[in-house]
Structures are given as C-alpha cells and as structure tokens.
Amino acid sequence: MKYPYSIFLAGILSSCFACSSNKIGYINPTKILQQYHGASPRQVEFKAKAQEWQARFDSLRTEQAPAEQLAQYQAAIQQRAATEEARLNQQVLQEVNAYIKQYGREHSYHLILGATEQGNLVYAAEGADLTDDIITGLNTQYDSQHAATYR
C-alpha cells in the first residue's frame, strides 16, 4: 500500500462522520502552549535555575578552574537543564491534555485533533477550531486554582 496511514485515517474519519451525533473539533497545540497561563511560572522557574547554574559556571571560570573541570561542569549543567526543562514541559502538557479530555467529555466531542504547522489538518469547517475555547477555559481553571498568586 502506498498510503496506508491516509487510508486508515480516512476510514476512521468516515466511520466517525457516519454517526451524526459524533462531534469532531481541532486545536492548535502551539497556540495553547504559548497562551496557557500555567506555562509562565514553569518558564520563570527554569530561567531562575539556569541563571544559578550560569552564575556557578562563571564563578568557576573566574576562579580559573581547570578547563577539564569547566567542560565537565558545563556538560553536567546542559544535561541537568535538558532534564529539568523536559520535566517542567511534561507537567504543562499533562495539565493541558487533562483539560482537553475534560472539555471533550463535557462538550460531547467524539474526537479532538491537534493541528500543527506541519499540515496534518488540511481543511476544517468554520467553528471546528476549539483552540480559543480551550485556552479560555484552561486559563480560567488555572487562574481560579492559583488566585492567590495574582493578588
């Protein structure tokens, strides 16, 4: 088969459309992650840690630590930064995905697709884009859970 994925996806979508009670919508995950209020504190937390690590590196360099020690420390910091960034991103994604599932259940959606810049969604009818509704609801939920932070 030349296009097995396309045929499979078309089969799934046609079976979804066969039942008129099934609702399908899509979101722009990039836009959600950019506008989700819960992502900002994680970015601030990561930047603060990165600044600490950089300050320590600068201190070692000022103390004229051996080049090998600087290289080892820099490699360790890069690994630590990647791990920390992945951990913080995973927390954000878990919150976003949990909200999208909740939204889908509450609004009786059968399927919510993610549209990316790579073009995995070629056409959608007007009104099928749930991105702004998801962002509004997600931020409302986050803001109410973290109301003390904004006072």
Q: Return the CA Rg of the chain.
A: 22
Residue 84 lies in a domain: yes
The mean of the pLDDT values for the chain is 85
Tens digits of residue pLDDT in 106-123: 999 988 999 887 777 766
pTM for the whole structure? 0.72
Residue 126 lies in a domain: yes
Residue with tokens 């399927």: 111
What pLDDT does 26 receive?
Answer: 92
Tens digits of residue pLDDT in 96-108: 999 999 999 999 9
Neighbours of 96 (CB within 10 A): 20
Burial call 124-133: b when 16+ CB within 10 Å, e when fewer: eeeebbbbee
Give dist(CA 86, CA 99) in Å, integer. Answer: 20
Neighbours of 52 (CB within 10 A): 11
Domain count, the chain: 1
CATH code of residue 111: 3.30.910.20
